[in-house]
Structure 1
Amino acid sequence: MSMLLPSVPMAPVTSPDIPVGPDWGYQIKWDGVRTPVRLDGRNGVELFSKRMEPRNGTFPEIVDLLKPINIGASVLDGEIAYFDGTRPNFQRVRLGVRKRKYDESLIYVMFDLLYDDGEDIRSLPFKERYARLAAKFPNKEPRLFVSDLFYDGPALWNWVNDREWEGIISKHLDSPYVEGKKHNHWFKKRKEVRIVADVVGVKLKDKKVSSLVLRYEDRYIGHVSGLDNASKQVLEQFMRTHRGSCPFPELSAGMKKSDVIWLSVPFPCRVTALEFTDTGLLRQPKLIGFGGGDES
């Protein structure tokens, strides 16, 4: 039985607003790894990344979790997440593509159904796809369940924000399943990332200070610009007297080509961003200021 996969999964469009009205439903956004799944109905399980690359080798614990499921030939859409007991927590040691340890604390959260008993149902309204999915998994297991569907978006956002969860997805109940982001059916609103990071290097452009290289939880998370002239002058003096070596075991090809002065004495800065990407980098970071402070 042929169940063709999308070239890319349907993705929500980032929006600062929450659409409201009787035609909208809302789901919690889990801080995990997007993972469509194809079940052949005979205990065969195939996991895929959001780029539709095979992921069985990366997440064998999720393959084992899904093998006993008897729901017929199906294609599920969901994400693999880690729940730390308080909130979903994107830990790269558990969820990164280089992870090696078998981890039974990982969970699989489902939110859509693309094929039902071999039938392609992507053209059906989301509310019907969701109803079929929920009927296949009527009971919530600790590590395998369907994400709840809510009908009061602002109330769900307040709940998520109060508990410092990642965000919510707003879905038009009549929407078909559309690949990628070329649609106006799904929208995501995320809690802003606000952290105190270590400045471990200064990136130069034309031999002048351009941006700050950042470290957070002992890993590279990108670089941030937005320095005023006074800060650049202070940094030029500081990096001349505090030269050090790269603190990271490896660098991306782009960073290897960059002109960076590494610092022997890191210092803290406050940064905000839209999110951490799947590769662990800050998306659209902005410099707030220098020194430590409370994270939120």
Structure 2
Amino acid sequence: MTKVPRKSSQPLLRNTDAPLRSRPRRPLDLDQPQLQFDPMPDRIEPCLAVLKPKVPIGPDWLYEIKWDGYRLAVHVEPSSVRIITPGGHDWTDRFPSIAEEAASIGTTAILDGEAVVLDEQGRSDFGALQQALGGRSGERHASKAVFFAFDLLYFDGHDVSWMDLSDRRHMLEGLLKDRAGGIRLSEEFEGDGQALFDAACEHGLEGVIAKRRDAPYRSGRLGDWVKVKCIQSDSFFIVGYEPSTAALGGIGRLLLAAYRGDELVYVGGVGTGFKERATIKLPADLDSLKTVTPPINLKRKGVVWVQPTLIAEIEYRAWTDDGKLRHASYKGLREKQDNAAVFQIASG
């Protein structure tokens, strides 16, 4: 029989009737004689979640809220802190509050997690994170960003990535207990994963991540982690735009493309979701990439074509029968350093 979980104490899930339970924390035992000393790796390829339509259910799974931000690894050493993107770029200077908090941890560690900016309801806001970073130029520092850590790969001189997730989480909870500043613990839940997913969607959150509790940390997309989204969100190339004298910034609609094999194909456009600050800067970014040759096989009058360089994060409800995005909304620009992957349409 499935356990009936109690309600989470997390602010972002407060006031929900959905039954949820967080696993109680045990005291952290720092004495680990069975572990041997290991040099800290310069970088670890991240474990990636496989997108599924339904939440996996059962005692083998643990659950977390899916955050909508930038995936990062925080490397903490006695005399330095490095914040690394999935693509291996050093973004330490872009997240000063996270780096400052990491320096106070007091031991060597590699934390895996997501940098986000929270709205007034405690939800992660990708657009707000983009604005905090100053867009793709990287001229500003995201001092308001918070790092939600959900895994521990290296601790106190030891590689712990080979351990079960439940054991890594036990150590992570002890390490980050009561921290509420630039680095916080991403809460874990067990029990009814569907109830957590329903609560997440009810509160306008991105979705949930399900993880096998007995799995080691394995790089790549191998199925140990599963993501289920309340609303679909993926990355697409901007290949052109339709000018508008009535729209803010002069952009009426962005034209989007995805990969089918090595070919770029048109997947529709987006004309909603633009924030004022981002919309004012976007035309200048696009105009610097103008081209007379359409990057996709599409004939349309009045379009300003651009080189497929800028990657937009797009939220949408579904796909139409002819392969176009339905009810698309613009969320912001992804960064190449974030290892943003343009959506790949399955062949056949």
TM-score (norm 1): 0.71
Pick the aligned partner of 2:313 from 281, 284, 290: 281
Give, in angstroms, the shift of residue 53 of structure 1. Answer: 1.7
1:162 Cα offset (Å): 0.1
Structure 2 letter corresponding to 1:3: M
Residue 30 of structure 2: aligned partner:
none
Q: Structure 1 residues 67, 253: CA separation in 2 closer, same or farther (over 3 Å shift)?
A: farther
Whole-Å separation in 2 of the counterparts to 1:120 and 1:100: 35
Q: Secondary structure at the match of 1:139?
A: coil
Q: Does 1:81 align with 2:106?
A: no
What does 1:143-158 correspond to in 2, within 5 Å?
A: 143-151=182-190, 152-158=192-198
Within the candidate set 111, 115, 126, 1:90 is matched to 126
Number of residues paired by the alignment?
Answer: 247
Following superposition, the deviation at residue 255 of structure 1 comes to 8.2
Q: What's the CA shift for 1:98? A: 3.0
Structure 1 residues 19, 254: CA separation in 2 closer, same or farther (over 3 Å shift)? farther
Partner of 2:270: 214
- SS of 1:161 mapped into structure 2: helix
Shift of 1:4: 1.2
1:116-265 map, 5 Å? 116-151=155-190, 152-181=192-221, 183-193=222-232, 198-199=252-253, 212-216=268-272, 217=274, 248-251=286-289, 257-258=295-296, 261=300, 263=302
Residues 98, 182 of structure 2: 8 Å contact kept: no
- Could you tell me which runs of 5 or more consecutive residues in structure 2 were left unpaired when the two chains were aligned: 1-37, 234-250, 258-265, 304-309, 330-348
Contact 1:114 1:129 in 2 (8 A): yes
1:31-62 Cα distance to aligned partner (Å, 9 max, x none): 110000111133x1001101122112332332
Q: Does the CA contact (< 8 Å) of 1:3 and 1:115 recur in 2?
A: yes
Q: Cα gap change, 1:214/1:15 in structure 2, threshold over 3 Å: closer, same or farther?
A: same
Shift of the 250–193 alpha-carbon distance from structure 1 to 2, 3 Å rule, reads farther
Paired residue secondary structure (1:35):
strand
Correspondence for 1:268 = none
Contact conserved, 1:202 with 1:261, CA < 8 A, in 2?
no
Q: Deviations over 1:45-87 (max 9, x none)?
A: 00110112211233233222322221x1111101110001121
Stretches of structure 1 that go unaligned for 5 or more consecutive residues are 204-209, 221-244, 265-277
Structure 1's 198 and 157: CA in aligned 2 closer, same or farther, altered over 3 A? farther
Q: Is the 8 A contact 1:29 1:168 kept in 2?
A: yes
Post-superposition shift, 1:184? 2.3
- Partner of 1:100: helix, strand, or coil? coil
Deviation at 1:213, TM superposition (A): 4.2
* Structure 2 partner of 1:112: 151
Q: 1:262 to 1:177 in 2, by over 3 A?
A: farther
- Cα root mean square deviation, aligned: 3.8
Matched, 1:60 2:93: no
